[in-house]
A and B are shown apart, each in its own frame.
Chain A
Amino acid sequence: MKNLFILISAMVLLNACNETIKVKETYSSAPDLYPDYNGVTIPFNIAPLNFKVNDEYSKIDVVLESKSESLHIQQNEFADIPVDSWKELLNSSKGDSIRITVSVQKNNAWYAYQPFYIHVCEDAVDDYLAYRLIAPGYEVYSKMGIYQRSLQDFEQDAIYENTLVQGSCVNCHSFKQGSAKDMSMHIRGKLGGTVLLTNNKMEVLKTKTDSTLSKFVYPYWHPSGNYIAYTLNDTHQVFHSSNNKRVEVFDNASDVIVYDINKNEIIKCEALMSDSVFETFPSFSPDGKTLYFCSAKMEVMPMEYTKVHYNLCSIGFDPESGTFSNKVDTLFRAADIGKSVTFPRPSPDGKYLMFTLVDYGNFSIWHKEADLYLLNTETNQVRSINEVNSDDTESYHSWSTNSKWFVFSSRRLDGLYTRPFIAHIDNEGKVGKPFLLPQQNISHYDDLLFSYNIPEFITEKVNIDIPELEKKLEGEKKQVGIRQ
């Protein structure tokens, strides 16, 4: 019995050890990877970048080396890097690169590729990423939810899933500068309402009033935590017949308002509620004194949908009194060049304003030409972020709290299912090669029939009291008022 135990232990140990490889041939190029992590810039606190080589093989051998640490793994299907060893490796490589040498076994012979490098940045990324997972459909929706994923490992859990209230829809999650304690999201459906977390205190709001266009839609928190700018939209969609486009989503009317959380009232501003203009996608500057938004001349919809071009505008806001200035500035006249701006998002340090640029309209996720642009707030210079843009859709984007990283959703992998990519921006505004959010299982994105929608960095886990939420959804909601 004892001998048997020793024998089994020895076999386990032998299996655990990596086979020493004898390379038959070394290729002249680096491996073609999925995901493409060759040359990416990553934070030192990111989860392991598991990958595979786009080739047929029976085993993969990977050596990861920093100046002081080395890690050797050998697996069958893909490089599944142990989290703890990876963390050590990254900590020893801050501000430096990791050299990765990959060999694959084909027909019992090993073939090595030229090494490739991953740049490890000293800037940390926020600990969590929140996003909605939803099928990229049309009018009908199935399972969906808002989830949070630890960026240091692969753990994901639900903030809200529509399994809780059958048939409900959840959308537009938003956080106060990455704070998980201050969150807004809408639950749509019979029991729906706007769920508001302020310093973890929960309220469910009834946001439609007689004198406003719709319920609250797209949110953006004021840095003080006292206000949230929302849009009010009369949104419709029509469906394309030809093969290169699927859906056209447009507003027949839209306004921007600011919700005063403490007073539970809507603050209206004439300049943001014009009958002849579509206003949408508000965002506050980091100092809270400016409200950015997109504005387009109203057209007859949907006939003239390609003529709708949103400019990037701003208006002064006084957080003390909750009042607006009279003057609207146009920061970027996209309409003049036949383009349209969506999702302006200022970096928390105030240096940049990132937005999506499309040919027309505001629903950029369905625009293959959608690309990310950066406006330097000091110079007012606008540039396309070519380092991250692809031939397919790049749309929603969000900044890390230290302004060093941004996450954006892209359809570059298959043209439909949006996936989160993270990119670094340095002090000079130089953007590194983005990397796909790493997953433990390499087939995760292939198997997943959901899109990653509205990726937002958060600094800690959201902690919603679900039983309390269930009670509040079933009970009377708090009706928002209008400031007179």
Chain B
Amino acid sequence: MKKFSHHIISPFAFGTIVYLFFTLLYPYHLHYQEQYQLFLFTGDYFQSYLNIPGGMSDYIGNFLTQFYFYPSVGAIFIAFLLVLIQQLTWKTVKNTEKSSVYFPLTFIPSILYWALLCDENYLPGGLISLVFLMVFISIRITIKSENLKSIFAVLSIPVLYWIAGGAVVFYVLYSVLAILFIRKERTARNTIITFIQVGLAISLPFIAKAILIQHPIIKMWIGVNFYSFPNTFPFYAGGVFLLSVLLPFFIKSLMIIRFHFKWAITVLYVVIIIAGFVTIKTSSVFDKEEVMAYDFHTRMRQWDKVIAMADKKSPSSPLSVSCLNLALAKKGMLAEHMFEYYQNGTGGLLPDFKKDFTIPMVTGEIYYQLGFINTAQRYTFEAMEALPLYQKSARTMKRLAETNLINGNRALTLKYLKILQKTLFYSKWATALSKVIDDQEILLQHPEYGWLMTHKIQNDFFFSEGEKDMMLGQLFTANNKNRTAYEYLMAYCLLNKDLNHFMQYLSLAQTIGYKQMPISFQEAFIYSWKMTSQKAPKSMPSFISNEKIQSANAFLSKMNLPNASEVLKKDYGKTYWYYLQFRN
């Protein structure tokens, strides 16, 4: 059997681990990034990126990001690129140091960039930029002809600048270090060429600024969108670039190991594996991954998966809880089961509007499912406009097509569908919908669109963020068969600990036609009854079970104990009473 070298096995193993990490442990981060961009297969879209230094890296990064729609596919690209960086790093190291003992160290730049990618705001464009840098360095050291090398050294500066932005600075740095530390590079010709490179690298951003006058000079220096927020200077990404360039010279400075070669490599592998594990572990934020998972399943209408996630581990962040509550409502379980899970107030039912792109996106999903189509549309539009880097988003575009379809705005729906038809993964959906856009019968039969079209708000009112209970009341008044609206209204009162309004609205439960009064309603009713009336339990309405009354009596008898919160948590932690008394 052929014996494979560790030079082949370890990059393969590394790539496999990266792939498995993003596919199995971190897939929702990929979904998250994918939904917030809109990659179009049009010449104008391509040109808009090509017009700017570093734009090509961003364009390729965005091209790859669209495959995050399927994390198992997107992860292949990430794994490939990180392995490619390692291989290119090894190539540059070999140029300065012939011994392969330090091979494990060539994984460092890839591991560090992997760690950066664990932050959802680091974009793949930066990774592409690093690949371009390493490719150009590799080409530089591959060329043997001195003349060709000189020509390439000069021409590569503007080319690399335009496709990879500020990466060119590190490329020039490599040239300078090569002259300083590699004897054969230290020629008069190379020195002159390097001076030219330095001059070009310094002047190019200023030349670009003179052409692209509507951008600040800092953009001309950085070029690539390493980070979602343009005002954040990409120090960490810059650090990885710097390290990638310095590593060959650092390794060259290490002592040459001639004995115990295998032991040395093994030790280095162990160190790299441990350090890599710690780096990735500390960079990964699984709480965010969880929120993203809730959002993804909600977006995909996978209500059972949302509930199953919560059954495994009750969510605690307002966004996750709001997704869970929506899933419960969609499955007709909100009123019955909501207090079986952690509830964090009305913010976990209908989060307040914020001028960002995550909260309005998730909250817009809830308003959409409730039937507040205009509000959902506004939240979606705001989320799209709040996207950093002036991006548009496939998810928002799809939702805008849906809200306009439901509102009967044919021309606008077609506009958004036409745009989505220029994407890879939304095109099929857009084409299918555009074919039936004029067929009301088919649309009305659609389980979601049909329901929303027939349950539209007819009487106009201004949406008030500060009076959500009133808004829910208006929605329910518009259609008193809208069970989701009713349960949201009641849930809002319960979570707001507003038992007066809860009691007022309870009689409306008749229109919903519950076979049995939901548990949370019973619990709230008993509590309110006992707090506001001295009547005996036997005079309570028939929809309250005796078992509940006894349970309430037991709870109330222990409620004033000094450590009541702890004592009651085991038996009553999943009741409304416990929420009312002990949750802020």
**Could you tell me which A residues sit within 8 Å of B by CB distance?**
135, 137-143, 145, 158, 160-161, 163-167, 238-246, 248, 302, 413-417, 441, 446-447, 449, 466-467, 470
CA gap between A415 and B410 in the complex, in Å: 9
Q: Known contacts A138-B381, A466-B213; is A241 also within 8 Å of B411 by CB?
A: no
Interface centre among B382, B406, B411 (most CB of A within 10 A): B411
Interface bits B17-60 vs A (CB < 8 Å: 1, else 0): 00000000000000000000000001010000000000000000
Q: Which of B231, B386, B412, B463 contacts A416 (CB 8 A)?
A: B412
B392 touches A414 (CB 8 A): no
B446-473 interface with A by 8 A CB criterion: 456-463, 471
Known: A163-B390, A243-B373, A414-B409; 10 extra A-B contacts, CB below 8 A, are A135-B384, A140-B355, A141-B385, A239-B374, A241-B372, A243-B457, A244-B460, A248-B462, A416-B412, A441-B44
* Chain B residues whose CB sits within 8 angstroms of the CB of A241 once the complex forms: 372, 374-375, 457, 460-463, 471, 474
Interface bits B375-391 vs A (CB < 8 Å: 1, else 0): 10110011011110010
B231 touches A166 (CB 8 A): yes
A139 touches B382 (CB 8 A): yes
Q: Which of A141, A163, A248 contacts B215 (CB 8 A)?
A: A163
A447 touches B460 (CB 8 A): no
Answer whether residue B214 sits at the interface, using C-beta atoms and an 8 A cutoff: yes
* Chain B residues whose CB sits within 8 angstroms of the CB of A467 once the complex forms: 213
Q: Known contacts A239-B375, A243-B374; is A139 also within 8 Å of B355 by CB?
A: yes
Q: Which of B44, B215, B375, B458 contacts A447 (CB 8 A)?
A: B44
Q: Which of B231, B419, B458 contacts A242 (CB 8 A)?
A: B458
B374 touches A449 (CB 8 A): no
B355 touches A158 (CB 8 A): no
A-B contact pairs, 20 of them (CB 8 A): A138-B378, A138-B381, A142-B385, A160-B214, A166-B231, A239-B374, A240-B463, A241-B457, A241-B461, A241-B474, A242-B458, A243-B408, A243-B456, A245-B460, A246-B374, A302-B462, A414-B409, A416-B409, A446-B415, A447-B419
* Chain A residues whose CB sits within 8 angstroms of the CB of B562 once the complex forms: none
CA gap between A241 and B371 in the complex, in Å: 10
Give chain B nearest CB distance to A469 CB in angstroms. Answer: 10
**Could you tell me which B residues sit within 8 Å of A by CB distance?**
42, 44, 213-216, 219, 230-231, 355, 372-375, 377-378, 381-382, 384-387, 390, 392, 406-409, 411-412, 414-415, 418-419, 456-463, 471, 474
Give chain A nearest CB distance to B333 CB in angstroms. Answer: 27
Q: Known contacts A242-B460, A246-B374; is A415 also within 8 Å of B44 by CB?
A: no
A446 touches B418 (CB 8 A): yes
A164 touches B412 (CB 8 A): no
Give chain B nearest CB distance to A305 CB in angstroms. Answer: 9
B456 touches A142 (CB 8 A): no
The residue of chain A having its C-beta at the shortest distance from the C-beta of B52 within the complex is A163
B355 touches A239 (CB 8 A): no
The residue of chain A having its C-beta at the shortest distance from the C-beta of B413 within the complex is A414
CA gap between A238 and B384 in the complex, in Å: 19
CA gap between A238 and B456 in the complex, in Å: 19
* Chain A residues whose CB sits within 8 angstroms of the CB of B408 once the complex forms: 243
Give chain A nearest CB distance to B379 CB in angstroms. Answer: 9
CA gap between A163 and B213 in the complex, in Å: 10
B230 touches A166 (CB 8 A): yes
CA gap between A416 and B213 in the complex, in Å: 31
B390 touches A142 (CB 8 A): yes
Interface centre among B415, B456, B458 (most CB of A within 10 A): B415
A142 touches B374 (CB 8 A): no
Q: Which of A141, A143, A163, A413 contacts B411 (CB 8 A)?
A: A413
CA gap between A163 and B392 in the complex, in Å: 15
Interface centre among B384, B390, B407 (most CB of A within 10 A): B390
The residue of chain A having its C-beta at the shortest distance from the C-beta of B462 within the complex is A238
* Chain A residues whose CB sits within 8 angstroms of the CB of B386 once the complex forms: 140, 142
A414 touches B214 (CB 8 A): no
CA gap between A209 and B53 in the complex, in Å: 42
B378 touches A239 (CB 8 A): yes
Q: Which of B216, B374, B415 contacts A240 (CB 8 A)?
A: B374
The residue of chain A having its C-beta at the shortest distance from the C-beta of B471 within the complex is A241
Q: Which of A140, A163, A242, A415 contacts B214 (CB 8 A)?
A: A163
Give chain A nearest CB distance to B267 CB in angstroms. Answer: 48
CA gap between A246 and B414 in the complex, in Å: 19
CA gap between A470 and B44 in the complex, in Å: 29
* Chain A residues whose CB sits within 8 angstroms of the CB of B463 once the complex forms: 238-241
* Chain B residues whose CB sits within 8 angstroms of the CB of A135 once the complex forms: 381, 384-385
* Chain B residues whose CB sits within 8 angstroms of the CB of A248 once the complex forms: 462
Give chain B nearest CB distance to A418 CB in angstroms. Answer: 13
Interface centre among B216, B378, B456, B471 (most CB of A within 10 A): B378
* Chain A residues whose CB sits within 8 angstroms of the CB of B377 once the complex forms: 246
Give chain B nearest CB distance to A56 CB in angstroms. Answer: 14
The residue of chain A having its C-beta at the shortest distance from the C-beta of B355 within the complex is A140
Q: Known contacts A240-B374, A243-B407; is A138 also within 8 Å of B382 by CB?
A: yes
* Chain B residues whose CB sits within 8 angstroms of the CB of A143 once the complex forms: 390
CA gap between A309 and B457 in the complex, in Å: 27
Give chain B nearest CB distance to A251 CB in angstroms. Answer: 16
The residue of chain A having its C-beta at the shortest distance from the C-beta of B397 within the complex is A449
A-B pairs with the 3 shortest C-beta distances? A143-B390, A242-B460, A243-B407
